[in-house]
Structure 1
Amino acid sequence: MTSAGNWTGRVGHVWAAEWRRTDRSFADLARHLDAAIVHVAPNTGQALDIGCGAGATSLTLAEARPKLAITGIDLSDELVAIARQRLAHRRSSDPGAAPHLRFLSGNAVALVQEAGPADLVISRHGLMFFPEPVNALAAIRTGAGEEASLVFSCFGDRARNRFATIADDATGSTAALSRDYAPGPFAFSDADQVAEWLAAAGWNEATAAQVAFDYVAGEGADPVADAVSFLSRIGAVARPLAEATAADRPIMLARLSAMLSDHRIGDRVILPACAWIWRARNVSASSNIAPDRFRPPMR
């Protein structure tokens, strides 16, 4: 389980250090999410990026909608510092770039309330870490304006995300199964459950599209070694490797390397992955969409 304390501590530190490889791993998904966001984004008004991380989604939206005021919010001071550095770098080469973009660190729910009515709320894999999802989604909605749109992504079923299952195979660990909600990467993987949470929080017209994407774990002259290095720090492999004995760790790393070799394509290691892209609106009347209408067939 990844808690708020993790993001302001060790996890936030690691993700800040690994932002380039993390953005690379999400690049194929990002093109789908960014297109969904731009499709509903207004030209003016205010947008909020919840769990903005190192700022990739906010920066892309700012380029597409330069007159839109965008606020990226993240718990991690270190990730927000990276996002601000990226923004400053972009402005150094183009002083007129992203004139209405800013990044803030702190509690997203509190900052949403303070920021004023938002016309658009977005998130790339940032909503799965709230300890009480309905309360968080409701608070975000009350901070949004009438007719506001919500667009976010989250991982799909764990079994369809090889970066996660490879941890089981390489380390001999098994993901704990529980019917109780716990924040974490796959907390929003059940589309039926997420639809119920959105409805309970007051979001309407919820639709979800399932996207299969390439999770690029490694690249370069030795992409397998790069992937081993990356996954040893980020994701499901990192904890069992860190907790392994001195004798077991080299064995686990050798297994991981061999398995990643099976996914090498040229100078990249590509792992199959799956995510949901959700859209919802803050309107007065619910469309009461049935689960079989918002969940498309697996691709």
Structure 2
Amino acid sequence: MSANDIAWEGAADAGKAATGKPETGKPSPGIAAAGKQGRARLPKWLYGWVLPLAVLALWEAASALGLVSDSALPAPSRIARAFWQLCASGDMAEHLKMSALRAGGGFLLGGATGLLLGVFTGLGRWAERTLDPSIQMLRTVPLLAVIPLFILWFGVGEFSKVLLIALGSFFPVYFHTHLGVNSADKKLYEVTRILQYSKLKLMTKLILPAALPNILLGVRLSVGASWLLLAVAEMMGASAGVGYMIQDARVYAQTDIVFVGILLFALVGKLSDSAVRLAERRCLRWSNTYKG
């Protein structure tokens, strides 16, 4: 190698050292970390609020400028005022209490029945051949179509409302439980036979843990279905509840209270879904395939 070549290589190395870049042309780890810190300015939980807050700001501005009708689309500030008035009068607590009791009762009844039947049909071949086709057929029937029958059979009291919510909560839990039980690895069953597991130990150590991801997914969908059907159930002869509040406000053209009821359904549904997701993270820490 000549002296000129050595001089050129030394100059190139000095230039790379001065620019802080390695030989590959990529920025150094310190510069890359600084760039990432500069981009990640907002907390992760705040990103989901950017779009709703922007929509609310535009909505409020459009209402203030008179671009939208206040009777058809009241300003967010007016909706917030109606929300506060309902909370101050105590009506909000009463409506939420009744709605929570109906949704919770229907979800527990339908979810528990779906879990038991899902395990039963998933384990027994004769039960699957006998019961599952009928259940899958009933699953395709629109729930709104059975409301007249529920009113004729059970009236418009609390029992018919809870049964309607339970029916909607039953199918997601049943379907995903049945799928989870059937999806258990057959090789694990062979291992349990070698280890001579009892039926109780087989259920608690193999079947339920293997089906747990699907069961929790069914519970998550079932919680959402219970709140959706609650709105329908409370519009047929109820005297309290968020759905009744929306129906009563519609009769008197109180659009701001209608939006308050819709907002309540959205918030409570989101909180319920987040609670189930938190339970998923805690219960499925052992699973390598769970992404959270």
Give the TM-score normalised by the residue count of structure 2: 0.23
Q: Report which of the two has the higher share of strand.
A: 1
Q: Report which of the two has the higher share of helix.
A: 2
The structure that has the greater radius of gyration is: 2
Give the TM-score normalised by the residue count of structure 1: 0.23
